[in-house]
Structure 1
Amino acid sequence: MSSPLLFVYGTLRPGFDGPMARWLRSVAPAVGLATARGSLYRVETYPGFVLDDAGEVMGHLFALPDTAALFARLDEYEQCTVHFPEPHEYRREKVTVQTPDGPIEAWTYIYTRDVTGLERIASGDFLAG
């Protein structure tokens, strides 16, 4: 894959009908399903993804044809740009995800706050409830 990839696991996934999910589908080609090692937690009406070995998180991959422009909009959405107060709720980083064709690196947004007291989404699939 020539374009960088983005792994989405929550409100940006196909199947979620929010304005940012619709926007992402309109500007970035969907590549397919993927999973990542970690845990999902319910943070208000959206999930937080934490890297750990506790489970698998279900998500989708998108190719990012105009990485700088897309990350500018996505970082704003995830509130991890410089004008948001620190500590940011999310940070963007590369992770290894599993696809039907094997492991691949993709960018994603990692939840950075304490998850104590948050409900863990045991299935690892935000859309499954």
Structure 2
Amino acid sequence: MSEPLLFVYGTLRPGCDDPMARWLCNAARHVGRAAARGNLYRVGSYPGFVPGGPGEVTGDLFALADPESVLATLDDYEECAAHFPQPHEYRRERLIVRGEKGAVEAWTYIYDRDVAGLERIGRGDFLA
């Protein structure tokens, strides 16, 4: 796949009743379901993803025809663009996820704060 990919696991997933989820479905092409190694935590009304460890997080992959524009908009949404004050709640980075056709590299938003005291979403699926 030549287009950069984005892995989403929370309020940006298709099926989530969120304006940004609807925006993303119009701004990028949904590729299918995917999973990443790590844990998902409830941070208020949205989740935070922390990679690594024994858990698995369910999400969706999007292909980005215009990655600079889409990622800039999402960086603003996630408040991790350079103009937001530090420390950011999220950081964007690439990681390996397992899509329907195997392992691929994708951008995702990583929760960048301490998870002590947060509820772990045991099944790793925010929409379940």
TM range (shorter): over 0.9
Match of 2:127, SS state, is helix
Gaps of 5+ in 1: none
TM-score (normalised: structure 1):
0.97
Q: List per-residue Cα deviations over 1:49-93 (Å, max 9, x = no partner).
A: 001212000000000000111111000000001121111000000
1:50-69 to 2 correspondences below 5 Å? 50-69=50-69
TM-score (normalised: structure 2):
0.98
Q: List per-residue Cα deviations over 1:82-114 (Å, max 9, x = no partner).
A: 121111000000010012221110000000000
Gaps of 5+ in 2: none
1:94-113 to 2 correspondences below 5 Å? 94-113=94-113
2:49–2:109: 8 Å Cα contact kept in structure 1? yes
The amino acid across from 2:33 in the alignment is L
Matched residue, 1:92: 92
Match of 1:22, SS state, is helix
Higher relative strand content: 2
Q: For the residues of structure 2 that align with 1:7 and 1:52, how far apart are their CA atoms?
A: 15
**Is residue 76 of structure 1 aligned with residue 76 of structure 2?**
yes
Q: For the residues of structure 2 that align with 1:92 and 1:77, how far apart are their CA atoms?
A: 12
Q: Report which stretch shifted further, 97-106 or 107-116.
A: 97-106
Percent identity over paired residues: 66
After superposition, the CA RMSD in angstroms is 0.6
Post-superposition, which runs of at least 4 consecutive aligned residues in structure 1 deviate over 4 A? none
2:61–2:99: 8 Å Cα contact kept in structure 1? no
